[in-house]
Structure 1
Amino acid sequence: MVWSQLTNSSFKTEIFSIRVPVEGQSKIAVYVDRLCKNVASSIKNGTELVILSDRGVNKDSYSIPSLLAVSGLHHYLIRAGLRAKVSIMLESAEPREVHHFATLLGFGAEVVFPYLVFDTIRSLIEHGDIRGIGEEQAIDTFCQAAASGIVKVMSKMGISTLQSYQGAQVFEAVGVDQDVLDQYFTGTYSSIDGIHLDRMAEEMRLKHRQAFYSNRSERLHLESGDDFQWRQEGEDHQYNPQTIHLLQQACRTNDYSLFKQYTSLLNDTNHNLQSIRGLLAFKKNKSIALDEVESVERIVKRFKTGAMSYGSISEEAHEALAIAMNRLGGKSNSGEGGEAPERFLADPNGDLRRSAIKQVASGRFGVNSYYLLNADEIQIKMAQGAKPGEGGHLPGSKVYPWIAEVRGSTPGVDLISPPPHHDIYSIEDLAELIHNLKNANPKARVSVKLVSGGGVGTIAAGVAKGRADLVLISGYDGGTGAAPRTSLKHAGLPWEIGLAETHQTLLLNKLRDRIVVETDGKMMTGRDVVIAALLGAEEYGFSTAPLVVLGCILMRVCHLNTCPVGVATQDPSLRKKFIGTPEHVVHFMTFIAQEVREYMAQLGVRTMDELIGRTDLLEANQAIEHWKAKGVDLSSLLYQPDEVHSVSRYATIEQVHGLDKTLDQQELIPRCEAALERKEKVESTLSIRNINRVAGTMLGSEITKRYGIEGLAEDTIKLTLIGSAGQSFGAFIPRGLSMRLVGDANDFFGKGLSGGKLIVRPSKRSTFVAADNVIIGNVAFYGATAGEAYVNGIAGERFCVRNSGANVVVEGVGDHGCEYMTGGTVVILGETGKNFAAGMSGGIAYVLDFDQQFAKHCNQELVVIGNASEEELSGIQAMVERHVYYTKSERGKEVLKSWDKISKQFIRVIPRDYMVMKKRIDRFKVKGYDSYKAALAAFEESKVAVDIVKDGDVNNG
C-alpha cells in the first residue's frame, strides 16, 4: 500500500505537524505536550490513524526529533488510556538507517514513511549515480534491506513478530537525562544521565541554521563524514590516519616516544570525548618513583587479545597474535572457531602458536576433547561484545575449505551462532557447562563472556555462583574480522558501565574475591587500562589495536573478504600482503604496560592489585567544556559500596569445583590405569546414579592428554554402567573409550562427542517398549564432532544440534532435531518432533517415515528431502545392524527383518547448499574421484578456494 492510499483509506485519519517555529519563545517540551493533547482530543472525536509529519520544514521552522515525538505521544496515550484506539504513523525526512527504524518501531510507531530516502533514491537515478535499476525496484530494494535489518534486531532479542516488538522498548539509553526518559521514553534506563530536551532542541536548531542560513555553495554539498570510516573534515574518529600511522610506526620500530605521541592524541581532553573514560580524570595523589612500580613483565601477563576466530582473520594474523602473547606470558583468544591441531605444538623456532584461551560458543566449531585440553582458559561465549545477542557471523565467502575443515562445517556456507549460546537458558545450565569444561580440562580456568549493559552485574553474580573462574564484561566497540556494518553500532554499551556495575554488585554480594573480572572493548592506551583497573577489572583484552599493529588500516571490509592488507581475509592472493610480525604485537603490549606503570607512579600505586577498584582515585573531568557533556553524571560509576572495606577488591579465592568427588576420579580412572599407561584393553561394569554428572569426561581427557587427537584404538576401554546417569554422560569422550549405559540418562548425553562410542538401552527387566519411550534427555550429542552412538529409545528435544561429525542411530526425537547440524550422519528409526533440520547446513539425516507425516515436521528452508539412493540405503542398513548388535533393539530387528519393504520409507534430509556445492564441483569436471566427498577432500588438501559469491563456480584459489 503506497502512502497516498493509506492517507485516503476508510479509516478516519488526521495529520499532525511536528514542526516548531525557529523563533518560538516556548521550550520544546511545550510543543510536545501540545502535540500530545491535540492528538488525544482528535482520538476522542473518532480518529483512528494518526500521522506525525515533518513535511514543510523551511527557514522559519524545524522539526521535533521524530523518535521523541513518536515515543512521547505513545506514552502520553498509554497514560490517557487511549493508545489501543489509534495507530501512530510517522512521515519524516529523518529516519534512514536500520537503527532509526528499529527504535521508532520499538518505541511505538506502527508505520514509518522515510520520504527523504525515497526522494534521494529518485534523484540519484535521475542524475545517473544509480544505473541499471528502475526507481520502483531501487526503492523496493532499500525497503527489503531495511526490513531485513529490523528482523535481525528482532531476532537478537528473541522476538518473533512485529506486533510483539512494537512498543517493546528493548533499548537502553546512553547520555540522556533520566527526567526526559521518565516523561517521554517511560521505562527506559540510563545509568549516566545526559542531555535534556533543550539541548536536543539546540542540536536541531544547529542543523537547521546549517541548512538554511549557510551560504549557497555550502548548502549544495553534504558535510563530509562517516560513522564507520574516517573522512577528512568529517566526524572525528579515534582511529584515523594520524593515530594509525603513529601506532604502526612505533610498534614496527620499537620506538616508545612515537607511541607516546600516539597516546597523547587519544588522551587529549577535546579528542577523547568519544568514550566515557574520556570524561574521567585522575585525582591528584602523592606520586612515587617509577622504579617502585610493578614491572612490565608482570603487568603484560594480565593482557589478552580478543576473541577473533580463525576464519574471520587470516592464518597469518591469528598465529602472529598467539605467538606474541605466548612470548609475553599473556593470552590470545581462539575466537569461536577451532584451531588446527598442528598449532598445539611448538614451531621450529620454539614458538607456541596455539591460543591459550579456547572459546566455546555454539559448541560446533571444532570444539573437541583435544581442543579443550590445549587451553589455559576455556571461555564460554554467552554473548558477543560487538554484536550482542546476535552471535558470531562468518560470511560464506570467507569459509574456505581449510576454514570449514577446522571448524567442522561446509565450505562456502555462512557460519552463524544464533543465541542462546550453547543452549543456556539459566544459571543452572551455565553451571552445568562450567562443570563439564572443568572435567574436560581440570587445569584450565573457565571464563564466561558477557556484554556490558544494565543488569549485567546481577548476571555476573550468578556466573560467580555457578563457579566460573573469570567473568569478562565486553564493551560494544569493535566487530573485528566479520561483523556486518549494521552490527557495528547501536548494540551493547560501553564497558565502563557494565564493568562498574559488575564490580559493585560482586562486592555487595560478597562474591568479588571468588572471581576474576576482565574487560575489553577498544582498549587503545595505558590510560584505558588504568581506568579499567580503577573501575574493577583485573585483566584486559585488546582486539582492534593489535590488528592495527599488524597492518589493519580500518577499511571496514572485513565481512567482504577483501582486506587489502591480508589481515581479515582468507583470499590467498591478499594474504600475501600481510606484513605483520609477532614482534610488533610484543612491542605494543610492552608499551601499554610501560604507560600503565607511569600512571601508577603518578597515582602513588605500586602494584596492579592495589589499583583495582580504587574509584576514589577517579573524578569527573571538570575541564571538559563541551555543551553535550555537561549533563552526564558519572557518580554511579564511581560509587564505592561499604563492603569495599571488608571484602577483597580482586579475586583471592579459587572456586571449588569438586572434581575429586566425581565418578571418574573415584572409580573410572583407577579401573582404567592399564589402558591409560600401557594401552591394554580394559572392561569393567559398575553402577551409576543421577548425581554422577559428566561420567567419562575426565577419563577421556586423560586419554587425550596421553595420546592426542588420535586417542586409543577402538574399544580399548569398554565400560558398562547400570542405572540412571546424570547430566552430560559421555561428554567430549575421545576415540578408544566405549561407554554402554544400561538404564537411562539425563540431558546433554554425548555432548561434544569427540570420537568415542556411546550405547544406551533399557534394562532387561524393563517392561516398557523402548521405541515408544524417552531414554535420554534433551540436547543430546550437542556439538558432537566425531564418534558413534546407538540409542535404543527416544531422545528428547534438540537432538544432535550442531553435530559436525558423529554418526548416530536413535528411535525417535523431540522438537528441533538436527538443528544447525554441519556434519555427520543421523539415522532416526521413528518419529521426529516439529522444526526438524532448522538451520542445518551440513551432514545427512535419514528418517524412517512410517506414517508419511515427516514433511510436516521438517523445516525445509535450508534442506531438501527425498528418497535415499541404493548406495545410501546400504550404508543405513549397516548402521542399523550395528545398532541392533550393540543395543539388541527390537525396533532395529523389525526394520532389518522387513528391509526390502521398510527401506523405501527412509527419507533423506540433506542441506540445499550441499547439493549446490555438489553440482558446482560436477560442473568443474573433477576427474578421478568417485564421490562428492572425495572431490571435496582433494580440494581441501590442495587448498583450492571454493568461492560461491563471485561466479557460482569453483575457482582455483
Structure 2
Amino acid sequence: SFRETTPIPLAEVEPVSEIVKYFKTGAMSYGSLSKEAHETLAVAMNRLGGKSNSGEGGEEEERYQLDENGDSRMSRIKQIASGRFGVTSDYLVHADELQIKVAQGAKPGEGGQLPGEKVYPWIARVRASTPGVGLISPPPHHDIYSIEDLAQLIHDLKRANDRARISVKLVAKGGVGTIAAGVAKGLADVIVISGHDGGTGASPKTSIQHTGLPWELGLAETHQTLALNGLRDRVVLETDGKLLTGRDVVIAAMLGANEYGFATAPLIAVGCIMMRACHLDTCPVGVATQDPKLREKFTGSADHVVHFMEFVAEEVREYLAQLGVRRLADLVGRTDLLQSSDRLKTHWKAASLDLSRLFVMPGYSPENRQYQEHHVSASFDGRELETLITDQSFTEQQTFTFPVTNTDRAIGTNTGSRLTRLYGAMGLPTDRLTLNLTGSAGQSLGAYIPRGMTLNVSGDANDYVGKGLSGGVIAVRPQAKSSFVSSDQVIIGNVALYGATSGELYVNGQAGERFAVRNSGATAVVEGIGNHGLEYMTGGSVVILGDVGLNFAAGMSGGVAYVLPKDVTRFEARINRELVVTGAVSDPEEATRLKTFIERHVARTNSEQGHAILANWDHVLSSFIRVIPSTYQAVTTLMAGYAQQGHNTEEAMLLAFETHIGRGTGGKQ
C-alpha cells in the first residue's frame, strides 16, 4: 500500500498526453495475432505517442507507409528473437527501438512456436518460410552464449539502425539483477524485466506451469543492483507482465521502472475473451487467428485501446496527486512511499513474509540520466566509409579497397542501413557498391547488408559472417600468398548466415559450427562445415563441397542442401534425419541450378576445388547428395502442381497450404 503524504492538486500533475508516452504494448507477434489485431494495436499506440512491439515474426512493408488519415500501422519497437524471422535490414531501419528477446515471462528458457496450421501464405511471406510448415525459435540465440556475445549483437544492431535504442528483454528470476548488470555493461539502452503472469495464451501447458517470477521481484532486484553498481543511470528500465491498472504502473515506477508494457489488457480492449486457443487458430473473435473467416469477426478499434490507455494514465495522475508527485518520472525508485499491507499482519500464511528487501532505496536520480556511448562513428564504416560514400554515391557503381583487422566488426552494416533507408527492401542492383578487404575481418562481417553491396575478403573472417544477410553478396578467400590448401582450412568462424533472408555467401574454405542456422533465403557455397550445420533452416540453398559435422540438418524445415562429402558413410552417420530425406540430384533443371551455384562460387573466389568439380561435372554430379525436409518438399511440390494448372503464385500458395493442412478434405491433419 501507499504511505500517506501531502497531496497536491490534480491540475499540477503532468497531463495524460505525457504519461502515455511511457506506455508500450508487450511483444505480440504477427502470426500469433491476426493482421487486424496487430495493426490496431500499432495504430493506437502511435496515436498516443507510445510504442507498440512487433513481437517475433517480422512486419509487412506496406505498414511503413502512412494511411490516408495519417495513422501509422508500423510497430515502433521491432523485436529480434532467437528465430530471427523476418529480421531484415528494412525491418531494422523502420524502428525507434530494437528489442533482443533473451527470454519471455510466459516460458523462460524456451523458444517460441508457431504451429503449421497458422503459417498461412501471408505469414510465410513475412517470415520467409513455407506455408503450412511449423516454425520454431530455438531456446537460445545462437550468437549469444555470454555477455560478450550479447554485447556483440547490441553492437551489430546499433550499426543496423544507429537511430534506434537497443533493448534487451529478460525474465524476472532470482539473480536477474546480476544478469542485468552485465547487459548494461554490454551497452543496452533499455532493459525489460518481464513477469510470469502474462502472455501464456499460446504457450504449451508444460510451459505455463513453469513460468518465471512476478515482475515486482525481478524489477526491484534489477533496479537496486544497477543502482548499487553505478549502472542505473545508463539504462532505462521497463517492466511488463499483466499490468492492468494505473495502480500497477505507480507501483512499477516506485520499484524502479521508467516505462511500462501492457499486453493482456489492450488485447481485451480489442475483443479478446481469453479462450486460450491462440495456438489452435480457432479464436472466435478474430484476435489470435489467421483464418480469414474468423478474422471477419474482429470488432476491435484503435479507439478502444486509446481510451483504455488514457483511462490508465488518468488513474496514474490521480495517484500522483495523492502522493504529492508532479511527474511520473519523479516517482521512479521512490520505495519510501511504499509500505507493507496490513493484510500481512492478519493472514496466518502471509504473516511470515518479509518484504523489506523490496523497499530498499539505493541512490538514484532520474535527473542524472546518462546515455550509453556506442561509438558508431569510430567503427569501420564510420571511420573509413562515412566520408567516402554520400547518398549520391549509390547512384553509380563504385569499388573501394581497404586493409582490415579482426577488431573491425560489423563491416558494411552501417553503410547498408543507409542504402536501405534510401532504396527500401529491394536495395540496388548487385555489385553497385563493392568493398575489397584484405586481412582478418572481425565479427559480424556484412551483417544485414542489403542487395547492392558486395564484400570481397582476401584473408579470413571471424564469427557471424553474413548474420541477417538481406540481399548483399559476401565472398571470402585466402590471400594469394597463402600456401595451404584452402578447402582443408577453416577461414570463417561460427554461426555464419544466422537468420539470413536473402543474398549470397561464397567461402573458398571451410566454415565453423552452426553454419546457416535459421537461414531462410540466402544462397551459400562452402567447402566444409562444422557441427550443427543448417540447424532450423527454413529456406534458401546451401552447397557444401566437402564434409559436414555432427547433427547436420537438425530442425531443418525448409530450403535445400547439396553435399559432396569426401566420406559418404561418415556423412550418413552425421545427418539428423528427423525432418529431412536424402537423395540424388536427378532433375535436369535442379542439376543446372546446382552447377550455376558452383560457377558463381568459382567466379567470386577462384576456388581450385570448384574448378575441378566443373571440369569433371558429368562424373561428379552423381556424387552429390541432396538434403531436403520432407514436409517442405511436399508443400513445394503441391505449389508447383497448382502453378502448372494455371494458378498464380498467391493462389498456388494458398491452395497448397489448405491441401497440406487438410482443410476441405476431412479437417485438419
TM-score, normalised by the number of residues in structure 1: 0.68
> Could you say which residue in structure 1 is the equivalent of 2:434?
718
- Counting only pairs closer than 5 Å after superposition, residues 513-912 of structure 1 correspond to structure 2 as 513-623=233-343, 625-641=346-362, 644=363, 647-648=364-365, 652-673=369-390, 676-677=392-393, 679-852=395-568, 853-869=570-586, 870-912=588-630
Q: CA deviation at 1:422?
A: 4.4
1:476 aligns with 2:476: no
1:947, 1:953 within 8 Å by CA — same for their partners in 2? yes
Question: What whole-Å deviation, never above 9, does each CA across 1:772-798 have from its counterpart, x for those lacking one?
Answer: 000000001111000111110000001
Alpha carbons of structure 1 residues 816 and 378: separation in structure 2 relative to 1, 3 Å: same
Segments of 5+ residues of structure 1 without an aligned counterpart are 1-280
Determine helix, strand or coil for the equivalent of 1:759. strand
Change (3 A) 1:927 1:701: closer
The answer (yes or no) to whether the contact 1:948–1:954 under 8 Å persists in 2 is: no
Spell out, residue by residue over 1:123-154, the C-alpha distance to the aligned partner (whole angstroms, 9 max, x if none): xxxxxxxxxxxxxxxxxxxxxxxxxxxxxxxx
Is the 8 Å Cα contact of residues 643 and 652 (structure 2) preserved in structure 1? no
* Displacement of 1:948: 4.4
Alpha-carbon distance, 1:939 to partner = 3.2
Shift of 1:412: 1.5
Cα distance in 2 for partners of 1:474, 1:351 equals: 29
Cα distance in 1 between the residues matched to 2:3 and 2:501: 54
> Is 2:158 the partner of 1:420?
no
Distance 1:329 1:581 in 2: 17
* Cα distance change of structure 1 residues 944 and 348 upon mapping to structure 2, 3 Å threshold: farther
User: SS at 1:836's partner residue?
Assistant: coil
SS of the residue corresponding to residue 671 of structure 1 reads coil
SS in 2 for 1:640: coil
2:46 alignment partner, one of 307, 314, 326:
326
Answer yes or no: is the 8 Å Cα contact 1:920–1:954 preserved in 2.
no
Q: 1:653 to 1:309 in 2, by over 3 A?
A: same
Q: Distance in 2 between matches of 1:445 and 1:802?
A: 25
Q: Does the C-alpha gap of structure 1 residues 393 and 656 become closer, same or farther in structure 2, counting only changes over 3 Å?
A: same
Q: Which has the larger radius of gyration?
A: 1
**Shift of the alpha carbon at 1:945?**
5.2
User: How far apart, CA to CA, are the structure 2 residues paired with 1:954 and 1:724?
Assistant: 58
* Letter of the 1:894 counterpart: A
Q: Residues 953 and 800 from structure 1, CA distance in 2 versus in 1: closer, same or farther, beyond 3 angstroms?
A: farther
Partner of residue 461, structure 1: 181
- Aligned match of 2:642: 926
The answer for unaligned runs of 5 or more in structure 2 is none
In 2, Cα distance between equivalents of 1:744 and 1:677:
28
Aligned CA distance change for structure 1 residues 678 and 797 (closer, same or farther; 3 Å): closer
> Which residue in the other structure is 1:222 paired with?
none
Count of matched residue pairs: 665
Partner residue, 2:120: 400
Amino acid at match of 1:441: N
Tell me: CA distance 1:917–1:391, structure 2 relative to 1, closer, same or farther (3 Å). same
1:875 partner letter? R
Say if 2:41 and 2:305, in contact at 8 Å, map to a contact too. Answer: yes
Describe the superposition over 1:225-269 as per-residue Cα deviations: whole angstroms up to 9, x where unpaired: xxxxxxxxxxxxxxxxxxxxxxxxxxxxxxxxxxxxxxxxxxxxx
Cα offsets for 1:617-644 (capped at 9, x unmatched): 1111014644332222211211223xx1
Match of 1:620, SS state, is coil
Q: What is the distance in 2 between the residues matched to 1:572 and 1:792?
A: 48
1:946 aligns with 2:658: yes
CA–CA separation in structure 1 for the residues paired with 2:657 and 2:23: 35
Give, in whole Å, the separation in 2 of the partners of 1:409 and 1:481.
24
User: How many percent of aligned residue pairs carry the same amino acid?
Assistant: 61
Q: 1:509 to 1:874 in 2, by over 3 A?
A: same
Cα distance in 2 for partners of 1:670, 1:654 equals: 26
Please say if residues 312 and 481 of structure 1, whose CA atoms lie closer than 8 Å, have aligned partners that are also in contact.
no
Shift of 1:394: 1.4
Counterparts in 2 of 1:949 and 1:378: CA distance versus 1, 3 Å: same
Separation in 2 of the partners of 1:549 and 1:442?
34
Could you tell me how far 1:491 is from its partner in structure 2? 1.1
Contact 2:638–2:656 (CA<8 Å) still a contact in 1?
A: no
Distance 2:621 2:38 in 1: 48
Amino acid at match of 1:939: A
Normalising by structure 2, report the TM-score: 0.96
User: For the residues of structure 2 that align with 1:651 and 1:859, how far apart are their CA atoms?
Assistant: 54
Change (3 A) 1:795 1:366: same
Secondary structure of 1:660 counterpart: helix
Change (3 A) 1:947 1:394: farther
Residue 315 (structure 1) aligned with residue 315 (structure 2): no
Residue 448 of structure 1 aligns to a residue in which SS?
A: strand
Aligned-partner Cα distance in 1 for 2:623–2:555: 24
SS of the counterpart of 1:739?
A: strand
- Given that 2:521 and 2:540 are in contact with CA atoms closer than 8 Å, whether structure 1 keeps it comes out as yes
Deviation of the 1:486 alpha carbon:
3.1
Shift of 1:489: 3.2
- Please give the per-residue CA displacement for 1:405-438, whole angstroms capped at 9, x wherever unaligned: 1011121222221221243110000000000000
Per-residue CA deviations over 1:488-536 (Å, capped at 9, x if unaligned) read: 2331111001000000000110100000000000011000000000000
SS at match of 1:860: coil
Give, in whole Å, the separation in 2 of the partners of 1:854 and 1:651: 59
CA distance in 2, matches of 1:953, 1:338: 31
1:224 corresponding residue in structure 2: none
User: Shift of the alpha carbon at 1:608?
Assistant: 1.4
| Residues 793, 812 of structure 1: 8 Å contact kept | yes
Q: 1:939 to 1:282 in 2, by over 3 A?
A: farther
Change (3 A) 1:583 1:612: same
Q: AA paired with 1:688?
A: V
Tell me if structure 2 keeps the 8 A contact 1:480–1:543: no
Letter in 1 for 2:579: L
Partner of 1:173: none
Q: How does 1:91-170 map to 2 (within 5 A)?
A: none
Q: 1:954 to 1:660 in 2, by over 3 A?
A: farther
Q: Which amino acid aligns with 1:659?
A: V
- Structure 1: how far apart are the matches of 2:142 and 2:606? 33
